[in-house]
Structure 1
Amino acid sequence: MPVAATNSESAMQQVLDNLGSLPSATGAAELDLIFLRGIMESPIVRSLAKAHERLEETKLEAVRDNNLELVQEILRDLAQLAEQSSTAAELAHILQEPHFQGVTFRVEGGELVIARILHGGMVAQQGLLHVGDIIKEVNGQPVGSDPRALQELLRSASGSVILKILPSYQEPHLPRQVFVKCHFDYDPARDSLIPCKEAGLRFSAGDLLQIVNQDDANWWQACHVEGGSAGLIPSQLLEEKRKAFVKRDLELTPTSGTLCGSLSGKKKKRMMYLTTKNAEFDRHELLIYEEVACMPPFRRKTLVLIGAQGVGRRSLKNKLIMWDPDRYGTTVPYTSRRPKDSEREGQGYSFVSRAEMEADIRAGRYLEHGEYEGNLYGTRIDSIRGVVAAGKVCVLDVNPQAVKVLRTAEFVPYVVFIEAPDFETLRAMNRAALESGVSTKQLTEADLRRTVEESSRIQRGYGHYFDLSLVNSNLERTFRELQAAMEKLRTEPQWVPVSWVY
């Protein structure tokens, strides 16, 4: 059954016509014909035929001036097919990987030097070229120091390509595995400094990356821990330079009632809470990358609940302790005021003299402290150690700045942000609490808006410390989510700051 055709597409059509003219078949032969017709009518095969025609019209070139435009054109052609075919979708994905941007060059001392080899690309996998190698000749022709000369030589080459290089003679070394948690969003398409936008790696705040190459002081190579090819990201140094002079305000308006459980009821004057080692770098801290390590499942020593006043942190803490008092505990706050007749030492408060408390504050023995109506209140760090020593997870609802003190290998905290719901939901929750008798205070619109705004400020200023965020629009549902998260810590690996491990 000879086929005479002037091009690939018409040849395919003639094959289909010939298949249609064959006598009917039965059984396996009929199934084979159906299968063959299905292949020939596939849009993928037709697209390949069109590509074949275009390749026959012009010589296949190793390098073209418009390689990027050509890839983009192919991707546009594949866009519709990708919605119908997984094969086309996979091809489109491959074409968007940085394998096509495998090597970059720089001119140094009149020589053409390999400046970068992207990790995971074909050149890197072959291992024949290395950063620092000097390209001298292509198929016996010198390239000099002009990258365009190299391009022309590769374009005119046919068959195998022989490179003559002057190796860099760098001693091979196994790079240390480095993993980081990102604290900012990055889109290479919007970065005017990146040397090759198509080779960049996009990521969002909270993503985990493996740094695979740090040879370039300004551009690291990294990939997502979930997998995928490597790409360029700005180095810590480069991003610090970019952000060093960006004015940032992380200060939060201090609020009453965030320290001690007894501070409720009538209106109180504003208090200023201070934390141990409350560094000035709050205002200048640059959120870029944080090196982390993956640990097998383990129990955290502290659970820290962060959130705006009135968002339900204390209710969640009390529910957790009542649910499993053998597993969870909390501290007893200290105060310099005298006990009331009905109060007993260690039940609600531990009572000490003002002089003693001031001395301990100066000695850095308090996680946080504040003053209300002439009396001092605070949380001693030793009281946290006491709960942990008793074999319990110490549950704390503290000021956000206290997280910096707790976030160490000694306390290994799991930090949960209890986020305020939207204004209308918060108002409905307050109304329901009043009707059920759970609360006796009706919040004004100003109170509700203050809670929502404070919640947003905390999230902006301290979000990089959070391991989990829960919107408390329903206390029971939020409590179940908190329980589930704590159980997960006992069964799944955890990414933690590398300082906790080494």
Structure 2
Amino acid sequence: MTGQDRTGQDRTGQDRTGQDRTGQTGQDRTEDRGQRTEDRGQRTEDRGQDRGQDSPRLVTLVGTYIAYGGTSGFLHLCNQPRYGQRHVQNMPVATGEETGVGAFDALCDNLNSPAFESAVGASDDDINFLSNLMNSTVLQSLIQVHETLQDSNLEPVSCTNVELIHDIVKDIDAAPSIPGTNELRDILTEPNFRALLEAHDDIASKNYDAIPDVFPMFAPPPPQEMLNPKVSDAIRMVGIRKNADEPLGITVRKESKPDEDGEHLVIARILTGSMIDRQGLLQVGDIIKEINGHEVQDPDQLQEIMKRCSGSVTLKVLPSFYDPSAFSQVYLKAHFNFDPRRDNLIPCREAGLRFKAGDILQVVNMDDPNWWQARKVDDNGPSGLIPSQTLEEKRKAFVKPEYDYTHKSLLCGLVTKKKRKMMYQSRKNAEFDRTDLLIYEEVARMPPFQRKSLVLIGAQGVGRRSLKQRLIKADPSRFGSVIPHTSRPMRPNEVDGIDYHFMDPDDMNQEILENRFLEYGAFDDNYYGTKFESIRKVIQSGRMCVLDINPQALKAIKTSEFMPFVVFVTAPPGDIMRNMHEYAFQRGLTDKIRTEKDFIATKEESRQIGRNYKHYFDLTIVNDNMDATYNKLRQAIETLSTEPQWVPVSWVY
């Protein structure tokens, strides 16, 4: 038996071009084998119809060749005692040293040898079928393609890209600042990019388990009756114990079956924690036929009968064999108020769950696309129905604000119906962020930990800057603030890095374009802003970075990198605000003169911030007394280290 070696040339001198050293081509060899099978071919012509039926088997075997990993797996398959509908014993195979074209040539040579038929005792049909298969153009082409792909050995350019990137970053840090290098450094040090390079290096260096050459044979498929069992309708009698003042905790609907006349009363949902859910005797999809011997066909009739029942209740049920889903671990923070008694779309108002903005909800069932089942966290009450994200988004998108009871407007006379067109600009994205439909936010419960930054949000003149300075002065080793950057020239007696970080106007404008500033603004043709890098330096020093920023910057700062604790300092009533200002003015704490118009503007701005950005707030404090507000703020910060916190799920995963 001949065999092909790894050089691509077999032991008889034949190379992979199909031509051996004696000048005989692969086509001539095929003709020789065809000549030796001429006698059997004559007998096969008499079975033309039978041979025509072999085409599906040829397609099947070609697919099997692909499925079993090419030549080695297919030869392993050919050695099995049974294949398809043919019994072939002692089928000739190549040795383990031969693969690819050489292995198939060896099989074909043995198959067409004169002594083969008597040696193996196979029938003419089996030998003829196998000969046609081995010499078919389709299978020979398939083997050639497989060999070509198997021989193509792609080599990686480098297996040490991680070290290369590390050297590049060191060169960037050592080189003078060039436009674009800082952005390149951020890309190269980004965790996801580094993970991609590590994966590439592992694959290039083949740091993984080897793939087996021969795949195991698959077990035969199970009988058809096991795949599609017939379930007969089995009536069950279910006995439950009902309290007079306790509802069942189910909702039902009328449904018709295609193969039956009339309609049935089907259980649409079972409220988690209800009496039926605790007993576990009914499932969603069960058909209720009778209650205490009385036939029921519609929800009103069911409700009327259940009102009269107490104690032991017997239901005749046609089970649905419904497999309930696993208990959900999805927690949501609500950003709107919901009162089921005032909702016209809820299927059952008594089954609704009332909640307000800021409540944490555990969703226990999301099968219904419009109504989820949820319970309030840290509340022992039963679960109830809440509107799904999709339903509430549709409702908020099409309901006018004056008809939406969940968002009552306090700005009477300030809203105009006049519309105007505007193009989206990234610099003005805060205008569009205020129109986001914020329904739920997925959150996760975290053990006590200290936040990296403290963000104070409030209207102009509400006192947030005074709170910031008081915090830092009271404990400078724990709290710190950033030094802003500016493009204006340095004034006398100013120190760079103490009063401001002074920058060249062109450099600052370039860094603004590169999104290196959390916020920035222009005053007297000069830029002022807060850089992300300045915040990082304060955090890296082990202190909590205290920021008093504009609310438009909340979207950029509320990330897992900065983990802010956002406190909204809201304005008190006008008379209290006036008294606080007079008290501070008399004691020299402020030299600003504020009018009644200023107090009204502060109150109005505070309302707008609270309405547009409330979903970012972790705490809201009414600053009606500076000392009391400071104490509340310090107490809230201390609580972070002692009590679990609900944070956005993106901070955890």
Q: Render the CA deviation track for 1:360-402: whole Å, top value 9, x for unaligned.
A: 1111111111100000111111111111111110000000111
Post-superposition offset of 1:441: 1.5
Q: How is 1:57-72 mapped onto 2 (pairs within 5 angstroms)?
A: none
Structure 2 partner of 1:103: 250
Post-superposition offset of 1:173: 3.2
> Is 1:189 paired with 2:189?
no
Secondary structure of residue in 2 paired with 1:479 = helix
Q: Render the CA deviation track for 1:449-488: whole Å, top value 9, x for unaligned.
A: 1111111111111112111111222222211111111111
CA distance in 2, matches of 1:104, 1:399: 48
TM-score w.r.t. length of structure 1: 0.71
Aligned equivalent of 1:304, options 455, 459, 467: 455
Aligned AA (1:290): E
Post-superposition offset of 1:345: 0.9
Structure 2 partner of 1:21: none
Q: Render the CA deviation track for 1:294-333: whole Å, top value 9, x for unaligned.
A: 1111000010000011111111111111111111111111
> Is 1:165 paired with 2:165?
no
Aligned equivalent of 2:612, options 461, 464, 471: 461
CA distance in 2, matches of 1:455, 1:158: 55
Change (3 A) 1:204 1:427: same
**Contact (CA 8 Å) 1:291, 1:498: kept in 2 or not?**
yes
Structure 1 partner of 2:327: 175
Aligned AA (2:446): M
Post-superposition offset of 1:497: 1.3
Aligned AA (1:244): A
Post-superposition offset of 1:114: 0.9
Post-superposition offset of 1:172: 3.8
**Contact (CA 8 Å) 1:220, 1:232: kept in 2 or not?**
yes
**Contact (CA 8 Å) 2:288, 2:317: kept in 1 or not?**
yes
Secondary structure of residue in 1 paired with 2:620 = strand
Post-superposition offset of 1:175: 2.5
**Contact (CA 8 Å) 1:276, 1:368: kept in 2 or not?**
no
CA distance in 1, matches of 2:325, 2:430: 39
Q: Render the CA deviation track for 1:40-98: whole Å, top value 9, x for unaligned.
A: xxxxxxxxxxxxxxxxxxxxxx99xxx9xxxxxxxxxxxxxxxxxxxxxxx9xx94xxx
Change (3 A) 1:206 1:213: same
Post-superposition offset of 1:414: 0.4
Post-superposition offset of 1:275: 9.1
Structure 2 partner of 1:388: 539
Question: Number of residue pairs matched?
Answer: 386
Aligned AA (1:107): K
Secondary structure of residue in 1 paired with 2:443 = strand
Q: How is 1:465-480 mapped onto 2 (pairs within 5 angstroms)?
A: 465-480=616-631
Aligned equivalent of 1:245, options 378, 398, 403: 398
Post-superposition offset of 1:119: 1.1
> Is 1:225 paired with 2:372?
no
> Is 1:326 paired with 2:473?
no
Aligned AA (2:612): G
Secondary structure of residue in 1 paired with 2:398 = coil
Runs of at least 5 residues in structure 1 that lack an aligned partner in the other structure? 1-61, 68-90, 251-273
CA distance in 2, matches of 1:455, 1:112: 53
Q: Cα RMSD between the aligned structures?
A: 2.9
Q: How is 1:51-62 mapped onto 2 (pairs within 5 angstroms)?
A: none
> Is 1:236 paired with 2:389?
yes
Aligned AA (1:313): R
Aligned AA (2:250): V
Structure 1 partner of 2:118: none
Secondary structure of residue in 2 paired with 1:344 = coil
Post-superposition offset of 1:189: 1.1
Post-superposition offset of 1:422: 1.3
Post-superposition offset of 1:248: 6.8
**Contact (CA 8 Å) 1:277, 1:364: kept in 2 or not?**
no
CA distance in 1, matches of 2:583, 2:494: 32
TM-score w.r.t. length of structure 2: 0.55
CA distance in 2, matches of 1:125, 1:390: 53
Q: Percent identity?
A: 56
Aligned equivalent of 1:433, options 581, 584, 593: 584
Once the two structures are overlaid, the 10-residue window that deviates more, 278-287 or 441-450, is 278-287
Change (3 A) 1:133 1:371: same
Structure 2 partner of 1:126: 279
Secondary structure of residue in 2 paired with 1:358 = helix
Structure 2 partner of 1:412: 563
CA distance in 1, matches of 2:542, 2:287: 62
The structure with higher relative contact order (CA 8 Å, sep 6+) is 1
Post-superposition offset of 1:181: 1.6
Post-superposition offset of 1:170: 3.1
**Contact (CA 8 Å) 2:480, 2:545: kept in 1 or not?**
yes
Secondary structure of residue in 2 paired with 1:424 = helix
Change (3 A) 1:277 1:492: farther
